[in-house]
Amino acid sequence: MNKNLLTLADCAPASTAEPMARAKAEDISSLLKAVADPTRLQILAMIAKADLQESCVCDLTGPLGLSQPTISHHLKKLAEVDLVEKQRRGTWIWYSLNKARWSQIAQLFA
């Protein structure tokens, strides 16, 4: 018998395994959809590495080579799923990571 062959019992999920609640799955799915965009991943990485882990749109346009409306659109999508928090300072809005929300993605792999 080949030791590398798996049986159905080896691959089948345990009968006691509970699926993730549908509402939670839909919520996490929206998070994953938001970060699936390469530009949004770049934005999140730039905010995470910025001084005080916050950035305004003006900090992101040059390095990403994108216009202010494009960056604002991506930040809006990230804010809609609460991955970034925003704070108005004068005429600018500063964005920071919502670490509690971000940790929900990390918990999927724990």
Classify residue 74: in a domain, yes or no.
yes
Residue type, 101: R
The pLDDT of residue 3 is 64
Classify residue 8: in a domain, yes or no.
no
The pLDDT of residue 108 is 78
Classify residue 84: in a domain, yes or no.
yes
CA torsion angle for 51, 55, 86, 90 (degrees, to 10)?
A: 100
Instruction: Give 10-residue mean pLDDT values along the chain (110 residues).
Output: 65 71 90 94 95 93 96 96 94 93 80
Classify residue 21: in a domain, yes or no.
no
Q: What are the CA-CA distances from residue 40 to residues 64, 80, 83, 103 (Å)?
A: 11, 13, 10, 17
The pLDDT of residue 104 is 84
Q: CATH number, domain at 101? A: 1.10.10.10
The pLDDT of residue 110 is 67
Question: Which residues constitute the domain of residue 87?
Answer: 31-109
Number of domains the chain contains:
1
The pLDDT of residue 95 is 97
Classify residue 7: in a domain, yes or no.
no
Classify residue 56: in a domain, yes or no.
yes
For residue 93, what are the β-bridge partners? 88
Classify residue 14: in a domain, yes or no.
no
Classify residue 51: in a domain, yes or no.
yes
